[in-house]
């Protein structure tokens, strides 16, 4: 079989010869008891770069020993890109949300052999899920592999925004010491009202981590959490996102992108937020209307916006979030720390082992199977596609 793997570029200076840490902490289980990815073997060193082209998700030996063909590329956008050329006879396509290969209906139609799209990470909105259902292409992802990595990023970015870390760091890098400049937008998080849109794996973990900052915590989700969890964290449940954002100083967005959540944060909803609130969005860029966010930062309706997700990705060089005031954006990195890479590389290997053996893939990993939303997909997604506009990713030009 032919496996096409789209990964981000190698470091500009080449693959590291030495890493900052010698090993990774050992984790056994996720907090809800789910086991970590458990392939029969791995051919990589956990803690090394696996998500870039030369890292190959540690798959080459495994695939080639079994007689399969592995093609890895980062050339994924624009007419005539290598990924499109290789897709036409691929059986399996693997892509990471950080550097997504937008698998639109048109692209799928060029690939008659395609049986499965694997997301090396979480969030399969870069695949036209409706087209996958129509064409019986299964879609799977490595549920939980990086949820807690993202929750750490959320806490980091909430603190950075509220305390105005970026501004203070810039002042010191520029040789300055004006304390008044450094603190004129700096507050304590303590006592604030913090709410999450969705309390799934990431949202709930972020709440658990934030509890220790003595904040008031709120959530909005399609399903209520068990009473004992609400009690443990002293959570206020909201039946609508409007009701929650009205009372929150900080809102963190943690739902998947699907037609129901696309552009949820538009001028109207942002207009209902408390003046001066902060948003941290590590879910998907398209859940927010990008221009509405920039307008709200300009007017002061929002005091800060951070996150790591953009639309499309890579973000075009003139994407307004690169230059709007009071932002704390990173590239899409929260779920691809070296720690997370080791988990999702192992998860992809586990999925491929099941696929080749004809044994069942874990239910929580399923998004689409046999033409229907399945597993996690049936629980968390709605039918349709959120890939519209993804061709804009071809506009990104590498600076050097
Ligand atoms: P989960 O599936 O555990 O949680 C998703 C939650 O979103 C569920 O509780 C679901 O609710 C809820 N939800 C779905 N639709 C809506 C809606 N319309 N309104 C409110 N809530 C909704 O996934 P994770 O927490 O692990 O991941 C969430 C998302 O975060 C991913 O889909 C992905 O887009 C993003 N992500 C980003 C990463 C990054 O690197 N920045 C890495 C990993 C994920 P219910 O189940 O109750 O219906």
- pLDDT digits over 186-231, tens only? 999 999 999 999 999 999 999 999 999 999 999 999 999 999 999 9
Q: Supply the residue whose CA is at minimum distance from atom 10 of ligand 1.
A: 380
Q: Which residues of the chain have pLDDT under 50?
A: none
Q: Is the CB of 329 under 6 A from ligand 1?
A: no
Which pLDDT score, from 0 to 100, does residue 382 have?
85
Q: Is the CB of 198 under 6 A from ligand 1?
A: yes
* Closest atom of ligand 1 relative to the 282 alpha carbon: 41
Which pLDDT score, from 0 to 100, does residue 267 have?
98
Identified catalytic residue from 332, 343, 349, 362: 332
Do residues 278 and 303 lie in contact, with contact meaning Cβ atoms separated by under 8 Å? yes
* CA pair distance 116, 3, nearest whole angstrom: 10
* Domains of the chain, CATH where assigned: 2-145+336-375+383-389 (3.40.50.720), 147-322 (3.40.50.720)
Backbone torsions φ then ψ of 33, nearest 5 degrees: 100, -10
Q: Is the CB of 257 under 6 A from ligand 1?
A: yes
DSSP 249: S
* CA pair distance 223, 246, nearest whole angstrom: 20
Residue whose tokens read 């209307």 = 289
Bin 57: left if φ > 0, else alpha if -120 < ψ < 50, else beta: left
Q: Which residues contact 259 (CB under 8 A, 6 or more apart)?
A: 382, 383, 384, 385, 386
What is the token pair recorded at 51? 């998500």
Which pLDDT score, from 0 to 100, does residue 380 have?
85
Q: Is the CB of 279 under 6 A from ligand 1?
A: no
Which pLDDT score, from 0 to 100, does residue 314 have?
97
Q: Is the CB of 147 under 6 A from ligand 1?
A: yes
Q: Is the CB of 100 under 6 A from ligand 1?
A: no
| pLDDT tens figures, 338-394 | 999 999 999 999 999 999 999 999 999 999 999 999 999 998 888 899 999 999 999
CA atoms within 13 A on the CB side of 327: 22
Q: Is the CB of 289 under 6 A from ligand 1?
A: no
Distance 183 CA to ligand 1 centre (A): 34
* CA pair distance 319, 306, nearest whole angstrom: 14
* CA pair distance 8, 55, nearest whole angstrom: 10
Distance 356 CA to ligand 1 centre (A): 29
* CA pair distance 273, 251, nearest whole angstrom: 9
Identified catalytic residue from 96, 130, 146, 254: 146
Do residues 150 and 202 lie in contact, with contact meaning Cβ atoms separated by under 8 Å? yes
* Closest atom of ligand 1 relative to the 284 alpha carbon: 34
369 labelled catalytic: no
Q: Rounded to an integer, what is the distance from CA 97 to the centroid of its chain?
A: 6
Rounded alpha-carbon distances, angstroms, from residue 61 to 42, 68, 234, 241, 341: 10, 10, 49, 47, 18
Distance 380 CA to ligand 1 centre (A): 7
DSSP 20: S
Q: Is the CB of 386 under 6 A from ligand 1?
A: no
Q: Is the CB of 366 under 6 A from ligand 1?
A: no
* Closest atom of ligand 1 relative to the 255 alpha carbon: 7
Which pLDDT score, from 0 to 100, does residue 91 have?
98
Q: Supply the residue whose CA is at minimum distance from atom 38 of ligand 1.
A: 335
Do residues 126 and 387 lie in contact, with contact meaning Cβ atoms separated by under 8 Å? yes
| 66 exposure class (CB count in 10 Å sphere: 0-12, 13-18, 19+) | exposed
Rounded alpha-carbon distances, angstroms, from residue 171 to 176, 304, 321, 329, 390: 5, 18, 21, 18, 36
* CA pair distance 211, 204, nearest whole angstrom: 11
* Closest atom of ligand 1 relative to the 376 alpha carbon: 2
Identified catalytic residue from 130, 157, 254, 313: 313
Strand 92-95 versus strand 116-119 pairing type: parallel
- Helix %, strand %, coil % of the chain (to 5): 35, 20, 45
């Amino acid at each position: 079989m032919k496996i096409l793997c789209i990964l981000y570029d190698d470091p500009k200076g080449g693959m590291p010869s030495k890493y900052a840490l010698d090993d990774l902490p050992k984790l056994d289980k996720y907090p809800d008891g789910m086991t970590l990815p458990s392939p029969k073997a791995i051919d990589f060193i956990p803690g090394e770069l696996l998500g870039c082209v030369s890292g190959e998700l540690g798959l080459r030996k495994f695939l080639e020993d079994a007689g399969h063909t592995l093609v890895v590329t980062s050339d994924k956008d624009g007419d005539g890109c290598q990924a499109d050329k290789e897709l036409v006879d691929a059986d399996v396509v693997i892509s990471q949300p950080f550097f997504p290969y937008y698998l639109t209906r048109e692209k799928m139609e060029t690939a008659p052999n395609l049986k499965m799209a694997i997301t090396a990470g979480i969030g399969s909105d870069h695949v036209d899920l409706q087209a996958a259902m129509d064409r019986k292409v299964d879609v799977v992802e490595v549920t939980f592999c990086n949820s807690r990595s993202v929750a750490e990023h959320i806490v980091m970015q909430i603190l950075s925004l509220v305390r105005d870390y970026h501004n203070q760091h810039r002042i010191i890098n520029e040789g300055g010491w004006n304390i008044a400049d450094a603190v004129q937008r700096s507050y304590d998080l303590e006592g604030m009202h913090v709410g999450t849109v969705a309390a799934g794996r990431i949202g709930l973990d972020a709440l658990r981590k934030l509890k220790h900052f003595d904040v008031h915590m709120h959530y909005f989700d399609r399903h209520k959490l068990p009473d004992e969890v609400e009690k443990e964290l002293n959570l206020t449940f909201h039946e609508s996102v409007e009701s929650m954002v009205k009372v929150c100083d900080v809102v963190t967005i943690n739902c998947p992108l699907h037609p129901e959540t696309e552009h949820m944060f538009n001028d109207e909803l942002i207009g209902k937020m408390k003046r001066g609130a902060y948003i941290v969005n590590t879910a998907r860029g398209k859940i927010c209307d990008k221009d509405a966010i920039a307008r709200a930062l300009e007017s002061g309706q929002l005091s800060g916006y951070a996150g790591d997700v953009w639309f499309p990705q890579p973000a075009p060089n003139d994407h307004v979030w690169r230059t709007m005031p009071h932002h704390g954006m990173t590239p899409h990195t929260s779920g691809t720390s070296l720690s997370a890479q080791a988990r999702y590389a192992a998860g992809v290997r586990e999925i491929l082992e099941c696929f080749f053996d004809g044994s069942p893939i874990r239910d929580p990993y399923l998004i689409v199977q046999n033409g229907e939303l399945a597993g996690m997909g049936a629980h968390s997604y709605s039918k349709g596609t959120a890939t519209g506009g993804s061709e804009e990713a071809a506009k990104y030009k590498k600076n050097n």
